[in-house]
Amino acid sequence: MSVVDLSKPVLVYLANGVQGGAVARAASRHGLKVRALVRNPVHSSSLEEAGVELAQADLFDLGSLVAASQGASGAVIQIPMGAQSDMAAQATHAFNAAKIAGLSSIILKLGSASRPEPCEEPSLVANAMVEDIARQSGMLSAIVRPTMYLDNLLRPHTRADLVENGLFAAPISESQQIAWTSADDCAEATVRLLMAGPAGVGDYRISGPESLSGDALAERIMVGLGRPIVYRARPLDGFEQDMDKAEGRAAGRRLASKFRYLATHRDDADAILAIPYSTIVELGDFFPTSVETWIRDRRQILLGSDIAE
């Protein structure tokens, strides 16, 4: 593994999504050339406007991934959650493409934290499977694992609850401590590790600065928004039904399964979610954003037309 070559682009997977888009922005802020891997360039106008190079590819098509990888210095690889067989095929293609193209630095960015040892929960099993494929490829530089994303607050239904009902309802117990992170913070950490080259090799959990219960989280949101907010644990059956309607039946079942596991395995939930950030030398002066600051910076987005100045 060598230090990233600034004369060559960094390939960012899933760049049209929330997490991949955050990585593309962070890489651009650091002066890196960015090549965004997208399935449909039609939905990539914001990337093009930011001067990002687009590479159209399909994660099931090794040839298109090799073409997208050629000439890049490194890559931030993310695999979308789905059927385990699909994820295995996509991860295998991604790392084979990186090997064929001779990339020097590869970061595997997971969509959620993983349990460190095998278990029966499908999404955690899938994460472990992708990690195994990455490690066996011999191309992996680092893994980045988030806790839970504050960006979930930006979902339309969640924003409506905040504005209309003063409520944040999440499918997890009020008593569960969570060190909430954000897509932007995870992206910033990822890019710093990519630029660190050999010094950034490792396995990194990116969490927020505080471990908060549901009520404590609501207090932080209230400070950021400037209006009363309460937290409520959502019943998992209702959550699954809502996700089925919003994202399809497979997505609802998959998400609810993970939260059911966390509810019944509190030691695992604490290990995955609750530990706040402590200094990581490889990240330099990076420090995660507080909930209050993250909310305040997005107050206008969250409140929309309801905002009163």
Contact predicate 179/169, CB 8 Å? no
For residue 251, count other CB atoms closer than 10 A to its CB.
15
In a domain, 62, yes or no: yes
In a domain, 44, yes or no: yes
Calpha distance 90→60 (Å, rounded)? 6
- Do you know the residue count of the chain? 309
Helix and strand numbers, DSSP H then E, in the chain: 13, 9
In a domain, 233, yes or no: no
In a domain, 120, yes or no: yes
Calpha distance 19→183 (Å, rounded)? 5
Q: List the CATH number of the domain containing 130.
A: 3.40.50.720
Please report which confidence band the pLDDT of residue 5 belongs to, taking 50, 70 and 90 as the band edges. confident
In a domain, 78, yes or no: yes
Contact predicate 189/204, CB 8 Å? yes
The answer to whether residue 198 scores a pLDDT higher than 70 is yes
Model pLDDT, residue 246:
74
Tell me the per-residue pLDDT of 65-118, one tens digit each, with 9 for 90 and over.
999 999 999 999 999 988 899 999 999 999 999 999 999 889 999 977 666 567
In a domain, 28, yes or no: yes
What is the pTM (predicted TM-score) of this model? 0.92
For residue 21, count other CB atoms closer than 10 A to its CB.
22
For the chain, give the longest Cα–Cα distance: 55
Domain count within the chain: 1
Supply the DSSP symbol for 56.
Answer: E
| CA-based torsion, 124, 128, 131, 133: positive or negative | negative
**Residue 126's domain spans which residues?**
10-149+180-208+276-285
CA-based R_g, the chain, Å: 19
Model pLDDT, residue 63:
98
End-to-end CA distance of the chain: 51
In a domain, 145, yes or no: yes
Q: Which residues contact 197 (CB under 8 A, 6 or more apart)?
A: 1, 2, 3, 4, 105
**Average pLDDT estimate for 32-54:** 90
Long-range contacts of 47-55 (CB under 8 A, 24+ apart): 47/15, 47/16, 47/21, 50/24, 50/25, 52/15, 52/24, 52/28, 53/9, 55/11
Please report which confidence band the pLDDT of residue 231 belongs to, taking 50, 70 and 90 as the band edges. very high
In a domain, 299, yes or no: no
